Amino acid sequence: MIKNDLFLRALKGETVNRPPVWMMRQAGRYLPEFMAIKEKYDFFTRCQTPELASEITVQPIRRYGMDAAILFSDILVIPQAMNIEVQMKPNFGPYLPNPIRSQKDVDNVVVPDVTVELDYVYQAIKATKEKLNNEIPLIGFAGSPWTILCYCVQGQGSKNFDKAKEFCFTNPVAAHNLLQKITDTTIAYLKEKVKAGCNAVQVFDSWGGMLSPVDYQEFSWQYIQQIIDALKGDAPVIAFGKGCWFALGDMAKSGASALGVDWTCSAQNARYLTGGNITLQGNFDPTRLFSPPAEIKKMVHQMITDFGKDKYIVNLGHGILPNIPLDHAKAFIDAVKEYNP
Ligand code: CP3
């Protein structure tokens, strides 16, 4: 039994005294203790060493006491396991030297045995569960197939992922082939993560908002729906699509336990679009953490009032930025714990 199960209760839609809180990318570069480990070990060493990954995962929990931990890892371990070279270049971000641009490239992509290729992730989960000592739940995650395709085809981060979109629109058969391979791998991977101890999973569709509503259905949402269907009975699924407010109506009917919302969609609009019955997660503008702590607290209380304390998980609308002052992150978490309706 998990001692603080607020997060899991919110996912079930139960009535709570206050909503649970965690932050996307909470294990990261705004923490000095994270930077100390980053100085000594490169990115994928940190991901692949269970002792390091589990330590980084619990760092923000020790400091701030969030209601859920999220495993330190990356969405790009999936293409890596599929025989696509992925590098993490310092001060640049992800770099894939052999981007996928043809059906032949797609044919060379492997659907791996995830129990072998990604064993280090499950070992990290087990090590993290020991450190968490049943205090709070652990979230596992994966990128959406579309967001993974973006990196596989573009070869790096991008403002508009134009090459990824060009590939989909000029070679849709190859694109769907690739999306299905990523989907199959992701489903097997998330099931193993739950087996290893994750209490819930989140699918990050970070670049879903690059697509028009019609293209979103074709190239992103149908694959996320497959993941949600396959995980039914294993663990609650949170679907987060950045910039995807237009799809919230379909998402609400998907069987997901909760939906992530970014800060460009108001609480009222998100509740309206989703029919008012599903748990929502979000949506504080990450840049707003630069505001003075007293202002952050006021805004968080207003946000809880706007979403309502039930069927709600307090979070940012995207990942925390590297240069956020420590006491500002603390104000965000404390504001939720101090909330008194
Ligand atoms: O939430 C957590 O703290 C868990 C850790 C986590 C990381 N990546 C660690 C990381 C999570 C949940 C991710 C997911 C991820 N990775 C996403 C989806 C979420 C989102 O932010 O949209 C995406 C798009 C990626 C791909 C990725 N990884 C990029 C674009 C970058 C470079 C830019 C950046 O944000 O730094 C990474 C590297 C990365 N992943 C870092 C961390 C802490 C920073 C690099 C480092 O530590 O050396």
CA-24 nearest atom, ligand 1? 1
Say what the pLDDT of residue 214 is. Answer: 98
Please give the radius of gyration of the chain, using alpha carbons only, rounded to the nearest integer: 19
Q: How many helices (H) and strands (E) does the chain have?
A: 17, 9
CA-143 nearest atom, ligand 1? 18
Cα 164 from chain centre? 21
Q: Dihedral angle at the C-alpha atoms of 230, 235, 236, 239, nearest 10 degrees?
A: -50
Say what the pLDDT of residue 341 is. Answer: 77
Say what the pLDDT of residue 340 is. Answer: 86
Say what the pLDDT of residue 319 is. Answer: 98
Both structure tokens of 35: 């930077």
Residue nearest to atom 45 of ligand 1 (CA): 43
- Contact at 8 Å (CB) between 259 and 278? yes
The verdict on whether residue 26 carries a ligand-binding annotation is: yes
Beta bridge partner(s), residue 89: 93
CATH of the domain at 104: 3.20.20.210
198-237 pLDDT tens trace: 999 999 999 999 999 999 999 999 999 999 999 999 999 9
The verdict on whether residue 44 carries a ligand-binding annotation is: yes
- Contact at 8 Å (CB) between 231 and 237? yes
* Cβ neighbours of 304 (radius 10 Å): 20
Both structure tokens of 141: 């995650």
In a domain, 1, yes or no: no
Evaluate the CA torsion angle 307, 309, 311, 313 in order and state its sign: positive
In a domain, 264, yes or no: yes
Say what the pLDDT of residue 18 is. Answer: 98
For residue 292 and ligand 1, the question of a CB distance below 6 A is answered with: no
Domain coverage including residue 241: 6-283+308-314
Query: What domain count does the chain have?
Result: 1
For residue 144 and ligand 1, the question of a CB distance below 6 A is answered with: no
The whole-angstrom separation of Cα 320 and Cα 290 is 11
Give 218's DSSP letter. Answer: I
Question: Counting Cβ atoms within 10 Å, is residue 92 exposed (0-12), middle (13-18) or buried (19+)?
Answer: exposed
Say what the pLDDT of residue 336 is. Answer: 98
Nearest CA to 28 out of 3, 62, 57 is that of 57
For residue 95 and ligand 1, the question of a CB distance below 6 A is answered with: no
Residue nearest to atom 1 of ligand 1 (CA): 25
In a domain, 54, yes or no: yes
The verdict on whether residue 291 carries a ligand-binding annotation is: no
In a domain, 324, yes or no: no
In a domain, 68, yes or no: yes
For residue 70 and ligand 1, the question of a CB distance below 6 A is answered with: yes
CA-147 nearest atom, ligand 1? 24
Q: Tell me the average confidence (pLDDT) per consecutive run of 10 residues in the chain, 341 residues long.
A: 97 98 97 98 98 98 98 98 97 97 98 98 98 98 98 98 98 98 98 98 98 98 98 98 98 98 98 97 98 98 98 98 98 96 77
What is the CA(79)–ligand 1 centre distance, in A? 14
Say what the pLDDT of residue 291 is. Answer: 98
In a domain, 325, yes or no: no
The whole-angstrom separation of Cα 237 and Cα 341 is 28
* Cβ neighbours of 181 (radius 10 Å): 20
